[in-house]
Copies of this chain bind each other. A is one copy, B any other.
Amino acid sequence: MVLEKFPHLLHGGDYNPDQWLKYPDILEKDIELMKKAKINCVSLAIFAWATLEPEEGVYRLEWLKKIVDRLYQEGIYTVLATPSGAMPRWLTEKYPEVMMVSAERVRNLPGGRHNFCPTSPVMRQKIQALDALIAQELGNHPGVILWHISNELGGNGTHGECHCPLCQQAFREWLKAKYKTLDALNHAWWADFWSHTYTSWEQIESPAPHGEMGIHGLNLDWKRFCNEQMMDFTKEEIKTVKQYSNDLPATVNMMTFFKDLDYFKFAGLVDVISWDSYPNWHAEETELKAATETAFMHDLMRSLKKAPFLLMESTPSITNWKPVNTQKRPGMHKLASLQAVAHGSNSVQYFQIRKGRGSFEKFHGAVISHQNTENMRSFREVTELGACLEQISDRVYPTLNKADVAIVFDWENWWAVEDAKGPIVPLDYAGTVMMHYRPFWKMGVTTDIIDMDCDLSEYKIVVAPMTYMMKAGFAEQVRRFVEKGGVFVTTYWSGMVDETDLCFMGGFPGLITDVMGLEEEEIDAIGPHRKNTVSYGENSYSVGALRDVIHTTTAKTLAEYEADYYKGSPAVTVNAFGKGKAYYICSENEDAFFDAFYRDLVKEEAVAANWPDELPEGVTVSKRVGKESLLFIQNFNEAEISMDLAKEYRTVAGETVSGTLFLKPFDCVILIEK
């Protein structure tokens, strides 16, 4: 990922001068303060539709061009948005069909954002006309470096789902193209159940709380359709702007653990991956949860295209929309920003440059606050970070993280496993995946995050937790991977259904019975009053609610249940298959189990960690690899940490470091491996 016009680490953020056109002194002050803060880029026009097209067909782009010009003169580059994130009032007034309809079949009233109907021809036509104009006027401007298509697609509680008549009809067409016959559809959805057999395409309705919710195949196809419809909308916006700006790359800004859109599919649409990160720092006794979830998301973003990505939004200080909006403690701004770079980001960007005066986000942290001064802690910390990014930019730019371990996190499985009824409701797929991710973070082992359609061949270890839905081809890919020497780890509640949520008949897919060397008997789910443990190594580890009861065929038992009617039966197994090995973990165990299990596994498979020694608690090390390799040592403790250095390193400033490394509370130190 290289932005050709400006191949440097970006430092900047969303900038909304359209809210301030009546305040020319504010616009001037902005330039002054941005330069002080070492801002080198801004994102423009994200919500500017009403200012760019104040009446239907009446366009006003002069102000935008003027600002892009001026910024460019001052050395500030522009990420330019297509303003589809929010609709102007004249549009919703004249064409109500552009407004989403909820699952309850109620059409929105005007207001909010991210809530357009992605099917509506009028919506597409109106935004594309404006997009084309913006692209013609600014797409080739030397200061414009990237297209920012729309904003946080599907966000703000819309789930990216519109249930309007146009979407219903498009859904039916989509289904016809997929299934060809109603017979095929009825079988795939197992619709004869409860007499729900469809006898005409017109009978199909999207899932509704006061209608059909019990056909999981319908629910799944609806999620797929909504995802594709949003992709199609985005594709058309990208195509429109690229007509006039051939070489300008495009991105969409993604969100954290956003279930509604399949980002692996969206990755194919865009040139650059970017995302918006708002971790809950300081919300718990330790930063472990926030740090690992954010690290996971960064790794996912990097993995989507196996390339550096952009941290498109983050707050320089606080958010305003959480129940509790906590200030980042001193150091945390630098640490959180460099954490992104450590995992593969080539930018630190903010929401936003200047705080609005009114409405919903006026108390969201920004580089420039209502006090309009540089004399604030957050401004100082932003400025310091800007200096740091300038210092490291040239070294960081040619590097990227490399992984021997991959963790499977698959959107369609996410949709399916949390929608199905049983054995526990609700199931938490993302939380389950995080249980398996955290041990690698603690060891400083780089992981890629992949889905079931990704290539496994480059990895030593592939971990696929709760792979309830076994997508076509995945079982076969796993078999080949293990045969050739790969190590595969999976768990309870895997391999249950195919891609339309139909159960596999006559035993689970070949994968499990021969690759895994075991057969499932039944799955138990039980509350916390029934404690159980598994033995593993020298220790006992407590077990959660889900407990698979299996018997081995060729597998070897590594751990057993220690209580209940399955006492003594296998809890963790390993099976030698071809040149590789396949592990099965039967139950939801406590974190300490996963720490021990993966420590043993990494050791046995000789996977290299980014740090030669065991890391202190709360500290991880990321590694970006190039001609020279950069180690990012991140201290998520609110305490000073010292680490003995096994060898000599250099700092970014060119100094040599050896002996003991001291990290301040919430500090990140960058070392260069010689």
Q: Which residues of A contact B (CB under 8 A)?
A: 16, 18-19, 22, 47-51, 54-55, 83, 85-90, 92-93, 102, 104-113, 187-200, 202-203, 205, 208, 210-217, 282-285, 317-327, 329-330, 355-364, 370-372, 376-378, 420-425, 500-507, 521-527, 529-530, 545, 549, 564-565
Residues in B neighbouring A88, C-beta threshold 8 A: 195, 197, 199
Query: Shortest Cβ distance from A274 into chain B, in angstroms?
Result: 20
Evaluate contact between A360 and B212: CB separation under 8 angstroms.
Answer: no
Residue of B whose beta carbon sits closest to that of A319: B422
Query: Shortest Cβ distance from A217 into chain B, in angstroms?
Result: 6
Evaluate contact between A50 and B192: CB separation under 8 angstroms.
Answer: yes
Taken together as a complex, chains A and B put the C-alpha atoms of A86 and B423 apart, in Å, by 25
Q: A506 touches which one: B191, B192, B371, B425 (CB < 8 A)?
A: B371
Evaluate contact between A326 and B526: CB separation under 8 angstroms.
Answer: yes
Residue of B whose beta carbon sits closest to that of A83: B195
Evaluate contact between B503 and A358: CB separation under 8 angstroms.
Answer: yes
Each complex incorporates copies of this chain amounting to: 3
Evaluate contact between A358 and B502: CB separation under 8 angstroms.
Answer: yes
Evaluate contact between B51 and A192: CB separation under 8 angstroms.
Answer: yes
Evaluate contact between A191 and B359: CB separation under 8 angstroms.
Answer: yes
Evaluate contact between B359 and A189: CB separation under 8 angstroms.
Answer: yes
Residue of B whose beta carbon sits closest to that of A216: B359
Q: A190 touches which one: B19, B92, B189, B363 (CB < 8 A)?
A: B19
Taken together as a complex, chains A and B put the C-alpha atoms of A360 and B545 apart, in Å, by 21
In addition to A50-B195, A86-B196, 7 A-B residue pairs with Cβ atoms within 8 Å of each other are: A90-B199, A111-B213, A113-B194, A214-B359, A282-B530, A326-B527, A357-B502
Evaluate contact between A211 and B110: CB separation under 8 angstroms.
Answer: yes
Residues in B neighbouring A355, C-beta threshold 8 A: 503
Taken together as a complex, chains A and B put the C-alpha atoms of A234 and B112 apart, in Å, by 35
Evaluate contact between A359 and B527: CB separation under 8 angstroms.
Answer: no
Q: A112 touches which one: B192, B214, B217, B363 (CB < 8 A)?
A: B214
Residues in B neighbouring A360, C-beta threshold 8 A: 193-194, 214-216, 421
Residue of B whose beta carbon sits closest to that of A283: B527
Evaluate contact between B51 and A195: CB separation under 8 angstroms.
Answer: yes
Query: Shortest Cβ distance from A307 into chain B, in angstroms?
Result: 32
Taken together as a complex, chains A and B put the C-alpha atoms of A18 and B195 apart, in Å, by 9
Taken together as a complex, chains A and B put the C-alpha atoms of A425 and B318 apart, in Å, by 14
Residues in B neighbouring A370, C-beta threshold 8 A: 503-507
Evaluate contact between A19 and B192: CB separation under 8 angstroms.
Answer: yes
Q: List 13 A-B contacts (CB under 8 A).
A: A93-B202, A112-B194, A189-B359, A190-B357, A190-B362, A193-B356, A194-B360, A318-B422, A326-B526, A358-B502, A359-B501, A370-B507, A371-B506
Taken together as a complex, chains A and B put the C-alpha atoms of A208 and B109 apart, in Å, by 8
Q: A195 touches which one: B86, B106, B420 (CB < 8 A)?
A: B86
Taken together as a complex, chains A and B put the C-alpha atoms of A199 and B330 apart, in Å, by 45
Evaluate contact between B363 and A210: CB separation under 8 angstroms.
Answer: no
| Majority secondary structure of chain A interface residues (helix, strand, loop or mixed) | loop
Evaluate contact between A358 and B49: CB separation under 8 angstroms.
Answer: no
Residues in B neighbouring A501, C-beta threshold 8 A: 358-359, 362
Evaluate contact between B372 and A506: CB separation under 8 angstroms.
Answer: yes
Evaluate contact between A422 and B325: CB separation under 8 angstroms.
Answer: yes
Taken together as a complex, chains A and B put the C-alpha atoms of A319 and B421 apart, in Å, by 10
Query: Shortest Cβ distance from A169 into chain B, in angstroms?
Result: 16
Cβ-closest 10 pairs across A and B: A190-B358, A109-B211, A111-B212, A320-B422, A363-B422, A214-B360, A50-B195, A50-B197, A86-B195, A111-B211
Evaluate contact between B110 and A320: CB separation under 8 angstroms.
Answer: no
Q: A372 touches which one: B112, B505, B545 (CB < 8 A)?
A: B505
Residues in B neighbouring A420, C-beta threshold 8 A: 362-363
Evaluate contact between B358 and A89: CB separation under 8 angstroms.
Answer: no
Evaluate contact between B359 and A194: CB separation under 8 angstroms.
Answer: yes
Taken together as a complex, chains A and B put the C-alpha atoms of A215 and B284 apart, in Å, by 32
Evaluate contact between B356 and A190: CB separation under 8 angstroms.
Answer: yes
> Contacts A211-B110, A376-B522; is A324 near B192 (CB within 8 Å)?
no
Query: Shortest Cβ distance from A310 into chain B, in angstroms?
Result: 23
Evaluate contact between B521 and A377: CB separation under 8 angstroms.
Answer: yes
Q: A89 touches which one: B199, B327, B522 (CB < 8 A)?
A: B199
Query: Shortest Cβ distance from A418 into chain B, in angstroms?
Result: 14
> Contacts A358-B502, A422-B325, A527-B283; is A108 near B196 (CB within 8 Å)?
no
Evaluate contact between A199 and B54: CB separation under 8 angstroms.
Answer: yes
Evaluate contact between B86 and A330: CB separation under 8 angstroms.
Answer: no
Taken together as a complex, chains A and B put the C-alpha atoms of A409 and B133 apart, in Å, by 52
> Contacts A93-B202, A358-B189, A361-B421; is A325 near B529 (CB within 8 Å)?
no
Evaluate contact between B187 and A22: CB separation under 8 angstroms.
Answer: yes
Evaluate contact between A524 and B326: CB separation under 8 angstroms.
Answer: yes
Residue of B whose beta carbon sits closest to that of A104: B106
Taken together as a complex, chains A and B put the C-alpha atoms of A286 and B85 apart, in Å, by 53
Evaluate contact between B50 and A211: CB separation under 8 angstroms.
Answer: no
Evaluate contact between A111 and B196: CB separation under 8 angstroms.
Answer: yes
Taken together as a complex, chains A and B put the C-alpha atoms of A359 and B215 apart, in Å, by 5
Taken together as a complex, chains A and B put the C-alpha atoms of A284 and B211 apart, in Å, by 34
Residues in B neighbouring A195, C-beta threshold 8 A: 47-51, 83, 86-88, 113
Residue of B whose beta carbon sits closest to that of A49: B195
Query: Shortest Cβ distance from A500 into chain B, in angstroms?
Result: 7
Taken together as a complex, chains A and B put the C-alpha atoms of A358 and B189 apart, in Å, by 7
Query: Shortest Cβ distance from A14 into chain B, in angstroms?
Result: 12
Evaluate contact between A112 and B200: CB separation under 8 angstroms.
Answer: no
Residues in B neighbouring A194, C-beta threshold 8 A: 47, 85-86, 112-113, 359-360
Residues in B neighbouring A378, C-beta threshold 8 A: 522
Evaluate contact between A217 and B326: CB separation under 8 angstroms.
Answer: no
Evaluate contact between B109 and A47: CB separation under 8 angstroms.
Answer: no
Taken together as a complex, chains A and B put the C-alpha atoms of A371 and B504 apart, in Å, by 8
Query: Shortest Cβ distance from A278 into chain B, in angstroms?
Result: 13
